[in-house]
Amino acid sequence: MSWLSSLKSAFSPAQEVKEEEIQRILQQYQLPQSEHLLKDRITQVNVEGRILQLTINTYPHEADHLQQIHDDLAAALVKCGIEELNLHVIQQKSAKLGQDKSQKENHAAQTSNLPPVVDASVQSSEDPNNPPIQKAAPKQRDVAAHPRIQHVILVSSGKGGVGKSTTTVNLALALQQQGLKVGVLDADIYGPSIPTMLGNAGKTPMIENEHFVPLDAYGLAVLSIGHLTGDHNTPVAWRGPKATGALMQLFNQTLWPDLDVLVIDMPPGTGDIQLTLAQRIPVTGAVIVTTPQNVALMDATKGIELFNRVNIPVLGVIENMSTHICSNCGYEEQIFGVGGGDQLSQQYHIPLLGRLPLNVHIRENADNGKPSVIAMDDAADSYLNIATAIWQQIQKQPQRQRDDKRIF
């Protein structure tokens, strides 16, 4: 197997999951302080990539052993390629208690014309269709800081086609011109365009000690799933868990240099990748990119609402394609409407970081791998001003305590 094939296989977790070994562990595991085997309690097993979802039945007297069951299984399954165990528990009522209660009610019904006494205390009712989650999902405030990255900034939009990736690369380069050490992570797993815009499409990263070495582009440390597929034609046809697993590998299994800012180009929407990132990657704040028309504003609103719910600060909004100036006659026209960015700013009390024009040179330079900030076209000053405003907002956010001993 070539080194490139080995590289690609790192993003095919299912190949490394030992299904027969997983079955053996689940069949042989004995419940703590019990004569029962786990296999007699399993109601559902599902493997997605390297994530195992396991649903089991338990009884009230076994509640103290649930954490031990999870930890024992997780430790055993990691040797089979399982990186994450999601244990769903359905708590059954005690069979003995149910029989005693039934006997008492029958006796009361036989000896009295009065209806049986009903226990009015609050009873726990478990819905088998919605089993309780025993382990709460991690909160953004609890995510440990990366030992080599000071700030993680998300560039997001509710929909595609608003110029998010173009904005990402230019903002990263503009932040770099302020003397900051900057990296770019392309989290748009299904439509990576960062390699093309930064002029290193077709290049693949080296591997050191089972970690990716980010590529250099104009002094930025850059990594994208597009650098691993090898060409522009290979689709990334992955389901949610595999795509989110790839994102975590790109973030955690990369030898990032010491960075002041890592700018992450987010995919459109509010799905699996956004939720996984909010729970597992330490984020300083998000920047929303929109165009002025109502359709884009509606989707941008959903993105802001998502970040608010997962406690990620929204640093501000950028209104892209705000105005168009005809290259022939100089006539200025608001093709996509007026005031969209102002509307979001007022509605959510967030800064309007700046407006960007609809300019053919922005598109041409990005397509040629030489973004506006490098080409110094008419939009370069706008990107530089927006980067200054973003950095000012970053400085207002609480600083995370970085753990230099963290092991990924």
Query: Using 50, 70 and 90 to split pLDDT, how confident is the model at 261?
Result: very high
Residue 327 pLDDT greater than 80, yes or no: no
Residue 85 vs residues 56, 75, 77, 278: alpha-carbon distances, Å: 13, 10, 8, 19
Structure tokens at 102: 């039934």
* Contact residues for 341 (Cβ-Cβ < 8 A; gap 6+): 290, 292, 317, 318, 319, 322, 352, 355
* DSSP secondary structure letters along 61-115: GGGGGHHHHHHHHHHHHGGGT--EEEEEEEEPPPHHHHHHHHHHHHHHHHH-SSP
* Contact residues for 95 (Cβ-Cβ < 8 A; gap 6+): none
Residue 248 DSSP code: H
- Is-contact 180 260, C-beta < 8 A? yes
- Is-contact 267 191, C-beta < 8 A? yes
Structure tokens at 123: 């009873």
Which phi and psi angles does 224 have, rounded to 5°? Answer: -145, 150
Element (H, E) at 265: strand 259-265
Structure tokens at 271: 């799905």
What is d(CA 291, CA 163) in angstroms, rounded to the nearest whole number? 9
pLDDT score at 120: 42
Domains of the chain in start order, with CATH, are: 1-135 (no CATH), 140-395 (3.40.50.300)
pLDDT score at 63: 81
What is d(CA 58, CA 128) in angstroms, rounded to the nearest whole number? 12
Residue range 111-138, pLDDT digits in tens:
444 444 444 444 444 555 444 444 455 6
Q: What is the mean pLDDT of residues 61-85?
A: 86
* DSSP secondary structure letters along 344-373: HHHHHT--EEEE----HHHHHHHHTT--HH
User: Does the pTM exceed 0.85?
Assistant: no
Residue range 138-170, pLDDT digits in tens:
678 888 889 999 999 999 987 777 889 999 999
pLDDT > 70: percent of the chain = 80
